[in-house]
Amino acid sequence: MKFPEPLVRGTLIRRYKRFLSDIDLNGETVVAHCANPGAMTGLNAPGSDVWLSANRNPKAKLDWRWELIRVGKHLVGINTAHPNGIVAEAIEAGQIEELHGYDTLRREVKYGQNSRIDILLEQDSCPPCYVEIKNVHLKRDLPGRENAAEFPDAVTKRGAKHLVEMSDMVREGARAVMVYLVQRGDCDHFRVAEDVDPVYAETLMEAQACGVEAICYDCDISVDEISVGRRLPLQLKAAKV
C-alpha cells in the first residue's frame, strides 16, 4: 500500500479521547485523527517522531490523519484502517503462500450473525476461504516474551465474536484463516496477550480446535508505503481437542 502523497513529519504532543492527537508541525499544533481504537501501549509517548497524511475528504472534520510513529530505530503503523487493504494487495500479488490458488477475492462480504468477513476467497474446485484480519502493533518485551508481537492490546469482544463465527463456517465445510498483520518490523514471533484478554485467548484455542487456521506476517514500513514482509512463527497455547 503506497501512500498517495508524501507524509508530513511532526512531533507527538499527546493522544486523547481515543481518536484525537495533538501534533507539533514546525511549531504549529494541529489536531490529527487517530484511526486506532486500541490502547496503543508504547506507541503514544510525547515527543515521538510521527508522520501524518493530509485528509483530502472535504467532509472530514480534521485536516490530518496520524499514520506512523518511530519507536527506537523502527517505524510502526498505527492506522488500523490499512491492514485489510495491505493483506488484499499481498494476496493478489501472491505474497501470502497460505492463501494462494483462489480465483476471486471479495472484501466485506456479509456472513454469520450480522457480520462481514474482511476477505472471502473463492474457487469453483474448493470450499470458500473466510479470511479475518487483525491489526497487531503491541510489543512489550516482557520476561519470556522478548521481541513478541502481541494481540490484542485491549479487550476485544468483537474479535472473539469473529472467531466463533469463523468456527461456524468451518463446521459448514468452509475454510477459515485468521491473519494477524504486525504493522512493525522489530518482532520475531507472535503471541496472544492472555493477560489483556483471557476470553479472546480461550476463544482462539477453541477456534483452532475447530479447524480455524492462524498465520502472522509482519510489515516492511517506510514513509512511502507499507507492505507485507516476513511470516512470523506463532507461539500459542495448544488447541484443545
- The CATH number for 51's domain is 2.40.50.580
Amino acid of residue 130:
Y
In the Cβ-directed half-sphere of 10, how many Cα atoms lie within 13 Å? 27
The number of C-alpha atoms within 13 Å of 188 and in the hemisphere containing its C-beta is: 5
Q: For residue 153, is it within any domain?
A: yes
Residue 66 within a domain: yes
In a shared domain, residues 22 and 71: yes
Query: In angstroms, rounded to a whole number, what is the distance separating the alpha carbons of residues 38 and 108?
Result: 21
pLDDT at 193 exceeding the cut of 70: yes
166 is in which domain, residue-wise? Answer: 83-231
Q: Are residues 59 and 95 in the same domain?
A: no
Distance CA 70, CA 184 (A): 10
Q: Environment class of residue 67 by beta-carbon count within 10 Å: exposed (0-12), middle (13-18) or buried (19+)?
A: buried
Average pLDDT of the chain, as a whole number: 95
Domain boundary, last residue among 39, 54, 77: 77
pLDDT in tens, 10-60: 999 999 999 999 999 999 999 999 999 889 999 999 999 999 999 988 888
pLDDT category of residue 241 using cuts at 50, 70 and 90? very low
Q: Are residues 71 and 88 in the same domain?
A: no
3-state SS class at 91: helix
As beta bridge partners, residue 175 has 129
The stretch 213-238 carries a mean pLDDT of 95
Rounded alpha-carbon distances, angstroms, from residue 129 to 3, 31, 155, 173: 29, 40, 27, 10
Domain closes at, from 61, 77, 93: 77
- Considering its fold, how many domains does the chain have in total? 2
92 plus 59 within the same structural domain:
no
- 67 shares a domain with 186: no
Based on the domain organization, do 93 and 54 belong to the same domain?
A: no
In a domain, 146, yes or no: yes
